[in-house]
Amino acid sequence: MKRNNAWFIALWIIIFIGIAFFMNSAKQKSQIVDLKYSQFKQNIREGNVNQVVVAPGMIKGEFRNEKGELRQFKTVPMYDIDLIKDLEENKVLEFSGVEQNGWLGPLLMSWGPIILLILFWIWIMRGMAGGGKQAMSFGKSKAKLAGSGLTNVTFKDVAGCNEAKEELQEIIEFLKDPARFQKLGGKIPKGVLLYGSPGTGKTLLAKAVAGEAGVPFFSSSGSEFVEMFVGVGASRVRDLFDQGRKSAPCLLFIDEIDAVGRHRFAGIGGGHDEREQTLNQLLVEMDGFDTKEGVILIAATNRPDVLDPALLRPGRFDRQVVVPSPELKDREQILAVHAKKVKLGKDVDLHTIAKRTPGFVGADLANVVNEAALLAARNNQESVNMYNMEEAIDRIFAGPERKSMIRSKEELTRTAYHESGHAIVAKMLPKTDPVHKVSIIPRGASLGHTLQLPENDKHTLTKTEALSRIAIMFGGRAAEEIVYNELTTGAAQDISQATKLASRMVTEFGMSDKIGPLALQRPNEEVFLGRDISKDSHLSEKMSEMIDSEIKKIIDNGLKTATDILTANRKMMDDMVEYLLERETLNAEDIDKIVKGEPLAPYEKEKPANKEYDKKEPPAPQKEAVIKNIIKGETVSE
């Protein structure tokens, strides 16, 4: 790059000097008067010539014209033996001769402009060629080859996803020994589609397949194929598969394939939409390459429902592998993988943390461990303790603690009653998840929160559990109404969640006795698909009124249930509020004692970090090093 820049600068300097030289020559040339030899001799005799320079092919000099102006002149010499005599007799002040010029000067004068034009034309052509290459590079694939071609990720680095690993094991075996499958006439799948929630590890799983097989791994994203220039996406698809064939056996990975794989001609954009041309080329390429070439395409998406059916048919993405959210055992394994890089305290129990994080995916669990390490470093601890882990979960679940928020005694008390209402209703109703924590510490957008954790991962929901959840959601509103006989906006989020659940019970789950098992919920069509935009509702007015009536009935019963429970347990609620105002946070053991009517042990405010692992405040310059050491799993030197 530097060498090209030097040539570029040198070329422009030459061009500038040449232009300046010829401009100066042209200027001087325009001031030289051409004289006939007879006029030259006449001016000598009249005494107008001051200076003469005689060259073999030209005579030049200075003379005064008729107006008395001093001008340059030139004339072609003739055979004149009396020239020197005439110059002396007419008192020419200065005359001299010039020897024969070399060949370089006349050559440059004659061919210099042409040479400069040729150089300039070559430079223009090279620039156009470079621009053409840049323009053609739009059609080149932007797929990145991992490292030296091989990834360092294996299945050991991917915790959980055991079923997905088993499904992908055949791909690995084929890439390692394709002859074993081909001799039996079997064909390995051309494409594998990984789908699941964001953060479940689809990309990591694809890298692990390439790492286990020991083959090159080309990765790209669906959005890289779509550009503002028509035809670029299709060209990049062709180039990606060409790269794969040259490096076979290999894996091609396209992340977020829904960016180019959506339904074709969905009513918006027309049949010549750039995205559709890219998808058509992808379909052709997947049909075009043979499994014997050893090129396997792996794609990932969290929206398999929007993909074109032609992309999912056998012969293209033959195998679809779901990457689910991790179960309890999987979460514990994922936490153990990420905790290897962090120095953990003796009190950290990964099983308890896994139980506290239902619904968390791999990315969430990695964030929990990282947040805990940062919190420990902020407190200048030697290691990460259980309190750091609990606090990290709360930060991710409800947001960071808003310590600077100032609230009045009345607002704190109202928040305490609201959260106590949720907790007590949850404790009194059957088939509810245990209450793990109640807090009036503001986090994120909430002024407090009540945390329930299931004992085991749940995949279905009974009608009794759904009705209990709705009653728990209205526990806060009911408590405020009982105590203050006035409503606030604090229950807005609870009302929204309760209404959504009640609506699904009626229109999706068939849990309404009056309507019965009917699927009345309209399909979730997306606007970008262009479907059902202009269609009217598929429900009659009578059915819509019946649905609204059933939803309201469920909501009213939930609110009444919560109100009855809290009215019957008013003293329990008042006791919980007093403890919350004193301690701000109650754990599961504290809540159980309050429900049983047992007093809690005296409360002493202390630093919330585990003293066993606290260390003295390090000097200011060491704080950054403390953070790095804890994240790396190293001890802090005193």
Annotated domain spans of the chain: 21-100, 144-322, 330-385+618-632, 409-523+540-596
Same fold, 144-322 and 330-385+618-632: no
φ/ψ (deg, to 5) at 266: -90, 5
Which CATH number, 3.40.50.10210, 2.40.10.10, 3.30.720.210, 3.30.450.20, labels domain 21-100? 3.30.720.210
Cα-Cα-Cα-Cα torsion 562, 565, 569, 573, nearest 10 degrees, comes to -20
Which of 37-51, 117-131, 314-328, 535-549 comes out lowest in average pLDDT?
117-131
pLDDT at 636: 38
How far apart are alpha carbons 51 and 83 in whole angstroms?
13
Among the listed residues 497, 493, 510, the one whose alpha carbon sits nearest the alpha carbon of residue 547: 510
Query: Where residue 179 falls among pLDDT bands split at 50, 70, 90?
Result: confident
Q: Which residues of 250-273 are buried (b: 16+ CB within 10 A; e: fewer)?
A: bbbbbbbbbbbbbbbebeeeeeeb
Query: Among residues of the chain, what percentage have pLDDT more than 70?
Result: 76
Fold classification of 330-385+618-632 is Helicase, Ruva Protein; domain 3 (1.10.8)
Q: Of 29 and 353, which is predicted with more confidence?
A: 353
Is the domain defined by 409-523+540-596 classed in CATH 2.30.38.10? no
Q: For the chain, how many residues are written?
A: 638
pTM for the whole structure: 0.63
Sequence letter at residue 101 = N
pLDDT at 17: 73
Which of 5-14, 201-210, 465-474, 574-583 comes out lowest in average pLDDT?
5-14
Query: Where residue 131 falls among pLDDT bands split at 50, 70, 90?
Result: very low
Which of 111-125, 184-198, 319-333, 619-633 comes out lowest in average pLDDT?
619-633
- The average confidence (pLDDT) of the chain is 77
Indicate whether 607 pLDDT > 70.
Answer: no
Query: Where residue 135 falls among pLDDT bands split at 50, 70, 90?
Result: very low
Concatenating the DSSP letter of every residue in 528-579 gives: GGT-SSSPPPSS-HHHHHHHHHHHHHHHHHHHHHHHHHHHHTHHHHHHHHHH
Helix (H) or strand (E) holding 193: strand 191-195
Q: Span 421-433, mean pLDDT?
A: 90
pLDDT at 570: 92
Angle between helix 463-473 and 492-507 (nearest 10): 160
Q: Span 579-605, mean pLDDT?
A: 84
Query: Where residue 293 falls among pLDDT bands split at 50, 70, 90?
Result: low
Query: Where residue 166 falls among pLDDT bands split at 50, 70, 90?
Result: confident
Q: What is the pLDDT of residues 71-126, one digit of tens each?
A: 778 787 777 777 777 777 766 766 666 655 555 666 666 666 777 777 777 766 66
pLDDT at 557: 94
Distances (CA, A) of 105 to 27, 53, 101, 546: 19, 18, 7, 104
Q: Span 294-307, mean pLDDT?
A: 85
Q: Of 105 and 164, which is predicted with more confidence?
A: 164
pLDDT at 467: 93
Distances (CA, A) of 182 to 154, 187, 241, 316, 437: 26, 7, 22, 18, 59
Give every CB contact of residue 473 below 8 A, 6+ residues apart in sequence.
422, 494, 495, 497, 498, 501, 558
Strands 585-587 and 449-452: unpaired
Q: Span 390-402, mean pLDDT?
A: 79
CB atoms within 10 A of CB 111: 11
Radius of gyration of the chain (CA): 43
Q: What are the tokens at 310?
A: 């032609």
Q: Span 416-433, mean pLDDT?
A: 90
Quickly list H helices, 356-449: 362-378, 386-398, 409-428
pLDDT at 188: 72
> Of 49-53, 563-567, 597-601, which has the strongest mean pLDDT?
563-567
Q: What is the pLDDT of residues 57-69, one digit of tens each?
A: 778 888 877 777 7
Q: What is the pLDDT of residues 328-367, one digit of tens each?
A: 888 888 898 888 888 888 888 898 888 888 888 888 898 9
Q: What is the pLDDT of residues 447-484, one digit of tens each?
A: 888 888 787 777 788 999 999 999 999 999 999 999 99
pLDDT at 94: 67
How far apart are alpha carbons 2 and 531 in whole angstroms?
55
Q: What is the 3-state secondary structure (H, E, C) of 205-258?
A: HHHHHHHHHCCCEEEEEHHHHCCCCCCHHHHHHHHHHHHHHHCCCEEEEEECHH
| Residues classed as catalytic | 419
Query: Where residue 632 falls among pLDDT bands split at 50, 70, 90?
Result: very low
pLDDT at 634: 45
How far apart are alpha carbons 479 and 456 in whole angstroms?
29
How far apart are alpha carbons 538 and 554 in whole angstroms?
23
Is residue 332 within 8 A of residue 369, CB to CB? The reply is no
pLDDT at 561: 94
How far apart are alpha carbons 174 and 194 in whole angstroms?
18
pLDDT at 553: 94
Query: Among residues of the chain, what percentage have pLDDT more than 90?
Result: 13
Fold classification of 144-322 is Rossmann fold (3.40.50)
Concatenating the DSSP letter of every residue in 88-105 gives: HHTT-SEEEE-PPP-SHH
